[in-house]
Chains A and B, each alone.
Chain A
Amino acid sequence: MFGGIDPALLISALMVASVPIILAAIGELIVERAGVLNLGVEGMMIMGAVCGFIVSVQSGSAVMGFVGGAIGGAAMAFIFGVLTQFLLANQVASGLALTLFGLGLSSLMGQSFVGIRPPATGAVPFGPLADIPFFGRVLFSHDWVVYASIASVAAAWWVLKATRTGLILRAVGESHDAAHALGYKVRRIRMLAILFGGAMAGLGGAYISMVRVPQWTDGITSGAGWIALAIVVFAAWRPWRALVGAYLFGGISVLQLNLQAAGARIPVEYLSMSPYLITILVLVIMSSGKGKAALNAPASLGQNFHASR
C-alpha cells in the first residue's frame, strides 16, 4: 500500500490499459525485425478501431469485430507495403502519409456509427480463481484479449528465437542483400511481415474502440500508435522488453491518475509528464549499461530493397 493505492487494482488496471500498445508494438516489432520501418501505426490502429467497431455493431459479435479490425489494419498496411516494397517509396514518409490518410478515412467511415454501443467483450470465466486475494484480481479478472496480448508476446519471442521463420525474418532484416543471395524472397517476406504488423495494430485499435472506451469517435486512438512505436525502440526489438515497456508506460500513466484521485500533493503537470520522462530515463540507463550492444537496430532498418539482379 502506498499513498492509499491498492497495488492489485493498479496492476490489473495497467494490464488493461497497456493492451492496445502491446498488440501494436508486437506487430511493429516484427515489421522492424524484417528491416521495415512503418511509422503509420497510428493510422493502422485507427482504421482497425473503426473497422472493428463497424463489423461488431453490424454482426453483433465482438469476435467478428476483432477480425474486422485486424483486416482493416492489414488493408492499410497493404497500401504501405505496395508503396515501399514494390514502388520503393521512402518508408518514413509513407508511414506518416499512412497516418494522415487513416485518420481521414476512418472518420469518413465512422460517420454513421457515432454514439452507438458495441457488443460487449466478456471476461474469461475463471470461476473461483478470480476470488483468490490479490492474484485473482491481477491474473484472473480480464477479458480474453488481455491474455491474447500476452500470448502474442510469447509467440513473437518464440518465433523469433526458435523457429526457421524467425531466422529468415531476422536475416532479411539484418542484410537483405545476403538474404536475397541465399535465395530468400525478401519482398514477399517483408510484405507478409508488414501485413502482420497491420493486423496487430488493427487489433490494438479495435480493442480501444470496442473494450477500452467503448465507442466510436473521430481520433479515438489519440496517439497510442506513436507510443507503440516508442515502445519498440525502447524494447530494443525484443518482445518481452516490449511487454515490460508497455506495462511500465501504462503503469506510470495509470499511477499518476491514481495518485491524483487519491489526493497526493504532487503537481499534476509534472505527474502527467512523468511517463515520458521515466521512459527516457530507463532508456538511457539501459543503453549506457551492459545491454549496450543489444540496442543495435536491425541493420537494414528503413532501407528499401531492390534486387539488381
Chain B
Amino acid sequence: MNRRTLLATAALGLGLAFGGAASAQGMDKVKACFVYVGPIGDLGWTYQHHQGALELVETYGDKVEIAYQENVPEGADSERVLTQMALSGCNIIFTTSFGYMDPTNTVAAKFPDIKFEHATGYKRDHANVSTYNARFYEGRAIQGHIAGKMTKTNKIGYIGSFPIPEVVMGINSYYLHAKKVNPDVELSVVWAFTWFDPAKEADSAKALIDQGVDVIASHTDSTAPLAEAAKTNGAVIGFGQASDMADYKPSPRVSSIIDNWAPYYVKRVGALLDGTYEQVDSWAGIPEGEVEIGEITDAIPAELKAEAEAMRDAIAAGTYHPFTGPINKQDGTAWLAEGAVAPDGDLLGMNFYVEGISGDIPK
C-alpha cells in the first residue's frame, strides 16, 4: 500500500466517522467519460446512453466536460480504452455494457481516485466501483397488459436477444400481464441470438407474424420488427424498444420503453460536483424516470390506454410490483406466494419461465 492509497483510506475512514455523508471534497469541474459498445447512431442502447451524456452538458454547462468512445469491443480492448481514459484525466467513467464488468473492476483497482460506474453488472470489487441498471421489466408489464387486450388471434410474440436474466425477466413480465387480462393468450418466443442485426430481427418478426402473432415485443435494438409490422397495414402492433421509435406512431408502435439514463447520470455527476458521491448499487425504474413509457397512441382504445397509464402510475407510486404472487414456475412449482413480491436477487438471476409459457430457455 503506497502513501496515496493510505491517505485515501484515511479520508474514507474520516468520512465514515462524520456519518458517511461525504466521501470526498466537491469538485469545480468534472470530466465524465463514457465507453459505448455500439455506435451512437444505433438509435437504441448506445444512442440512449449518449443522450444521457449530452444531458450532463445541458444541466451543468461548462462545469462538466464529456468524452466518449464508440464501438469498444468487450474484453481486452475495453481494458485498454478504460486505462487510457483514466490516464487522460477523466474523473468518472461510465462503462455501458455488461461485458465491461471485469475490465472495469481491474482498471478501477489501479486508479482508486477515479470513480467507475458499470451498467448492468453486479461486481463492485473496489470502493470506487458502482453499478447501475434499469428495471425494464416494469415497462414490459405495461406492454403485456396492452398485448393481452389488443390481440385478436390470442397469439403474442417476443423477440429475445440472448437468454440472460434481463431478457427472461422481460418475457415473464410481459406474459404474466397479458395472461392476467386474457387467459387464452399464448406466447411465442423467438431467440435471435444477436442484439443488433436488422435483417434477422425483421425475419424474426416476419416469422412471428406468419405464425399468426399480432402483437410483437422485441428485446433487440433496431426498428426492424416495427417496420415489419408496419407492412401488415395495421393488423400487427408492436412497441418501441430502448428509444421511442416515434417514427412508427401511431401504429404499429402503440407505446415504447425508453431507456432514460439522464436522471442517473445527472445525479451521479452532481454528487461528484458537490462532494456527496458514494458507492451505490442502483436499480431504478419507472419511479425514478429511468424507464420511461413512451406516449401510448390512440391506435388503442381510450379505456385500455387509461388502464395502461394507471398501471404505469401505480408502479411509479410504488403501490404495484409487476412480480406479485401468486406466481408459479413453468414446471408448476411455487415461486411467489399470494401477495409476495419478488426479491431483487431472484429477478437478477432469473433463469426460468413462469407457468403457462411453453418452450425451453436455450441453455
Q: Do chains A and B touch in the complex (CB under 8 A)?
A: yes
Q: How far is the CB of A207 from chain B (nearest CB, A)?
A: 10
Chain A 248-281: CB-based contact to B (< 8 A → 1; otherwise 0): 0000011001101111010111001000000000
- Residues of the A chain whose Cβ atoms lie less than 8 Å from the Cβ of B193: 268-269, 272
Are A269 and B41 CB-contacts (below 8 A) given A261-B190, A261-B207? no
B224 near A215 (CB under 8 angstroms)?
A: yes
A13 and B198 contacting across the interface, CB-CB below 8 Å? no
Distance in Å: Cβ of A230 to nearest Cβ of chain B: 16
Q: Are B42 and A218 in contact (CB under 8 A)?
A: yes
Contact segment of A109-117, A287-295, A296-304: A109-117
Distance (whole angstroms) from the CB of A142 to the closest CB of chain B = 12
B190 A265 Cβ-Cβ under 8 A:
no
Contact with A along B12-50 (1 / 0, CB 8 A): 000000000000000000000000001101110001000
For B38, what are the chain A residues with a Cβ–Cβ distance below 8 Å?
A: 218
A111 — nearest CB in chain B belongs to which residue? B41
Give B328-363 interface residues, CB cut-off 8 Å to A.
358-360, 362-363
The answer to whether B199 and A213 have CB atoms under 8 Å apart is: yes
For A9, the chain B residues whose CB sits under 8 A away are 210
Q: Which residue of B lies closest to A112 (CB)?
A: B41
Report whether A208 and B199 are in contact in the complex, using a CB–CB cutoff of 8 Å.
yes
Whether B41 and A110, one on each chain, are in contact in the complex, defined by CB atoms closer than 8 angstroms, is yes
Considering only residues 1-56 of chain A, those with a C-beta below 8 Å from chain B are 4-6, 9-10, 13, 16-17, 20
**B211 close to chain A: CB less than 8 A:** yes
Contact of B222 with A by CB under 8 A: yes
Contact residues in B for A261 (Cβ distance below 8 Å)? 157, 188, 190, 204, 207-208, 210-211, 213
CB distance from B271 to the nearest CB of A (A): 32
Structural contact, B39 and A13, CB atoms closer than 8 A? no
The 6 nearest A-B residue pairs measured at CB: A257-B207, A218-B39, A9-B210, A213-B198, A261-B211, A268-B362
- 9 other contacts beyond A16-B206, A208-B199, A217-B222, with CB at 8 A cut-off? A17-B203, A208-B198, A213-B227, A217-B39, A218-B41, A261-B157, A261-B190, A263-B188, A268-B193
Residues from chain B with a CB closer than 8 A to the CB of A117 are 227, 247-248
User: Within the complex, what minimum Cβ distance (angstroms) separates B210 from chain A?
Assistant: 4
Q: How far is the CA of A212 from the CA of B231 in the complex (A)?
A: 10
* CB of A166 closer than 8 Å to a CB of B: no
B284 CB-CB contact with A under 8 Å: no
Q: How far is the CA of A117 from the CA of B207 in the complex (A)?
A: 22
In the complex, the answer to whether A260 meets B191 with C-beta atoms within 8 Å is: yes
Using Cβ atoms and an 8 Å threshold, which residues of chain A touch B222? 213, 215, 217
CB pair A116 B199 closer than 8 Å: no
Q: Are A257 and B198 in contact (CB under 8 A)?
A: no
- Count residues on chain B whose CB falls below 8 Å from chain A CBs: 41
Contact B198 A217 (CB under 8 A): yes
- B interface residue numbers (CB < 8 A to A): 38-39, 41-43, 47, 157, 188-194, 196-200, 202-204, 206-208, 210-211, 213, 222-224, 227, 243, 245, 247-248, 358-360, 362-363
Report yes or no: B41 in contact with A212, Cβ–Cβ below 8 A.
no
Task: Evaluate contact between A260 and B207: CB separation under 8 angstroms.
Answer: yes
Task: Determine the residue in chain B with the shortest Cβ distance to A13.
Answer: B206
Residues of chain B within 8 A (CB-CB) of A114 are 41-43, 47
The reply to whether the CB of A219 lies closer than 8 angstroms to some CB of chain B is yes
One of B191, B198, B210 near A220 (C-beta < 8 A): B198
Q: Which residue from B194, B199, B204, B243 sits with its C-beta under 8 Å from A212?
A: B199
List the A side residues contacting B202 at CB < 8 Å.
212-213
* Residue with the greatest number of chain B CB neighbours at <10 A, chosen from A13, A110, A111, A222: A222
Asked if residues A258 and B362 are in contact (CB atoms below 8 Å), the reply is no
Check A265 against B39 for contact (C-beta < 8 Å). Answer: no
**Contact partners of B204 in chain A: CB under 8 A:** 257, 261
B184 to chain A, nearest CB (A): 16
- With a CB–CB cut-off of 8 A, which chain B residues contact A4? 211
A10 cross-chain contacts in B, Cβ below 8 A: 210
Q: Is A224 an interface residue (CB 8 A)?
A: yes
Contact flags A116-132 to B (C-beta < 8 A → 1, else 0): 11000000000000000
Residues in chain A near residue B359, CB distance under 8 A: 263, 265
Give the docked Cα–Cα distance between A300 and B203 (Å): 38
Complex CA gap A219/B359 in Å reads 32
A100 CB to nearest chain B CB (Å): 13
Which residues of chain A are within 8 angstroms of B200 by Cβ–Cβ distance?
A: 222, 253, 257
Q: When chains A and B are docked, how far (Å) is the Cα of A214 from the Cα of B231?
A: 11
Q: Mark A76-96, 1 if CB is under 8 A from B, else 0.
A: 000000000000000000000
